[in-house]
């Protein structure tokens, strides 16, 4: 095999046109999904302190936001809801006129082709902040499933194009699949937060969604960060239960999980570039310690290079603009 001086790796790096020609991974606005936080009330559009550049928006103010998103070439949004009131069983999650349900209707009116994905979980709607219901001091798996199924169904009935269960209860993908099928929604896909880790990188999101657990933590249902074989088992089970898209979350500390998932499954693989990954770059950029655009595009490209087809990211709008600028 030839080596230096016959081989000079720098030849194909010499100019932007060479680099463009040999680039192995390209990021596009079409790969990105933008998360939206819908709040109760009207006339609300307030910047989220822990997620600069992202907003709490009420349903009546969504139209210009989603028109902008669609205009940037982004194909999908992921909805989270922050209800007016919370209770022990997360009633707001499956309310026909809940914040997300109303948000879906508003988005579908304003931008009918923009895909609406909904996060299906109870933690933003429960007063204790856990992702399921409490029975005898524990998050009860099987009783939580009914509520999650009701939540998913209410989203689809309001017009959601896809549901994304993020609670990490066992069996929820199969239960939601059966519920949707039984109600005539066999054409609606499920994106499973299949390998979702109990991560410190969700901090800014919990502030944005007001979903910090009031006691305990989520380690009893979310995955333990050191494990990757277990992640593959989770993904296998969700695939068997009928998941159409498999997600790894968070992304950056779990690039190996994304790569292993890509090699093992032929499903589209999604990766969630979570709030902490975004907020730490924002904070460092504010301090003048790094360039946000460069760091963000490098991270997103790395997530794609690792094997993700779809990236959920708070940078979706900025990245779409940066990519269009070239
Ligand atoms: C709801 C949910 C969370 C995130 C997405 N869906 C929070 C959590 O599990 O604590 C995190 C998103 C982010 O940090 O950007 N269960």
Please name the helix (run of DSSP H) or strand (run of DSSP E) that holds residue 264, with its range, or none.
helix 255-264
Segment 87-106 shows an average pLDDT of 97
Residue 204 to residues 49, 274, 294, Cα–Cα distance (Å): 9, 9, 22
Cα separation of 299 and 272, whole Å? 12
The catalytic residue among 86, 196, 282, 304 is 196
**Nearest atom in ligand 1 to 166's CA:** 16
CA of 9 to the centre of ligand 1 (A): 42
Residue 207 pLDDT exceeds 90: no
Higher pLDDT, 254 or 326: 254
Cα separation of 125 and 147, whole Å? 11
| DSSP letters spanning 127-163 | TT--SSEEETTEEEHHHHHHHHHHHHHHHHHHT-SEE
Confidence of residue 212 (pLDDT cuts 50, 70, 90): confident
Number of H helices, E strands in the chain: 11, 12
Mean pLDDT estimate for the chain? 97
Cα separation of 206 and 37, whole Å? 12
Percent pLDDT > 90 in the chain is 94
pLDDT at 216: 87
Mutation probe of ligand 1 site: the residue of 130, 205, 218 with most atoms within 8 A of C-beta: 205
CA of 264 to the centre of ligand 1 (A): 25
Percent pLDDT > 70 in the chain is 100
pTM for the predicted model, two decimal places: 0.97
pLDDT at 74: 98
DSSP state of 269: E
Segment 103-125 shows an average pLDDT of 98
To the nearest 5 percent, what fractions of the chain are helix, strand and coil? 45, 20, 35
Q: What residue ranges line ligand 1, CB within 6 angstroms?
A: 119, 121, 123, 131, 166, 202, 205-206, 211, 274-275
Residue 326 pLDDT exceeds 80: no
Clarify whether 86 is annotated catalytic.
no
The predicted-structure confidence for 63-87, as pLDDT tens digits, reads as follows 999 999 999 999 999 999 999 999 9
Q: For the chain, report the end-to-end CA distance as a whole number of angstroms.
A: 37
CA of 42 to the centre of ligand 1 (A): 25
Cα separation of 119 and 155, whole Å? 9
**Nearest atom in ligand 1 to 275's CA:** 15
**Nearest atom in ligand 1 to 131's CA:** 16
Segment 213-242 shows an average pLDDT of 95
pLDDT at 210: 85
The predicted-structure confidence for 272-321, as pLDDT tens digits, reads as follows 999 999 999 999 999 999 999 999 999 999 999 999 999 999 999 999 99
Segment 184-199 shows an average pLDDT of 98
**Backbone φ/ψ region at 216: left (φ over 0), alpha (ψ -120 to 50), beta:** left
pLDDT at 225: 98
Confidence of residue 213 (pLDDT cuts 50, 70, 90): confident
CA of 79 to the centre of ligand 1 (A): 11
Clarify whether 249 is annotated catalytic.
yes
Spell out a b/e string for 290-321, using b for 16 or more CB atoms within 10 Å of the CB, else e. eebbebbbebbbbbbebbbebbbbbbbbbbbe
């Amino acid at each position: 095999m030839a080596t230096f001086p016959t081989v000079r790796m720098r030849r194909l790096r010499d100019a932007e046109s060479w680099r463009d020609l040999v680039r192995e991974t390209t990021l596009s606005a079409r790969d990105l999904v933008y998360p939206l936080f819908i709040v109760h009330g009207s006339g609300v559009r307030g910047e989220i302190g822990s997620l600069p550049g992202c907003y709490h928006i009420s349903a009546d103010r969504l139209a210009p936001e989603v028109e902008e998103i669609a205009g940037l070439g982004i194909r999908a949004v992921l909805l989270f809801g922050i209800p007016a009131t919370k209770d022990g069983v997360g009633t707001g999650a499956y309310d026909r006129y809940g914040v997300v349900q109303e948000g879906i209707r508003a988005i579908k009116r304003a931008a009918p082709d923009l895909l609406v994905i909904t996060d299906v979980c109870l933690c933003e709607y429960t007063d204790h902040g856990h992702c399921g219901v409490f029975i005898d001091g524990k998050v009860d798996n099987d009783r939580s499933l009914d509520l999650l199924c009701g939540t998913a169904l209410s989203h689809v009935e309001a017009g959601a194009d896809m549901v994304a269960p993020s609670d990490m209860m066992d069996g929820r993908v199969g239960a939601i699949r059966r519920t949707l099928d039984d109600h005539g929604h066999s054409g609606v896909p499920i994106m499973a937060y299949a390998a979702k880790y109990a991560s410190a990188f969700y901090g800014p999101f919990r502030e944005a969604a007001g979903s910090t657990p009031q006691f305990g933590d989520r380690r009893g249902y979310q995955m333990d960060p050191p494990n990757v074989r277990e992640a593959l088992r989770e993904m296998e089970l969700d695939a068997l239960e009928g998941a159409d898209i498999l997600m790894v979350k968070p992304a950056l500390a779990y690039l190996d999980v994304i790569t292993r998932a890509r090699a093992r499954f032929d499903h589209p693989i999604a990766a969630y570039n979570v709030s902490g990954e975004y907020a730490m770059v924002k904070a460092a950029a504010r301090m003048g310690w790094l360039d946000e655009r460069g760091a963000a595009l490098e991270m997103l490209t790395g997530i794609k290079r690792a094997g993700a087809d779809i990236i959920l990211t708070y940078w979706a709008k900025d990245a779409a603009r940066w990519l269009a600028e070239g």
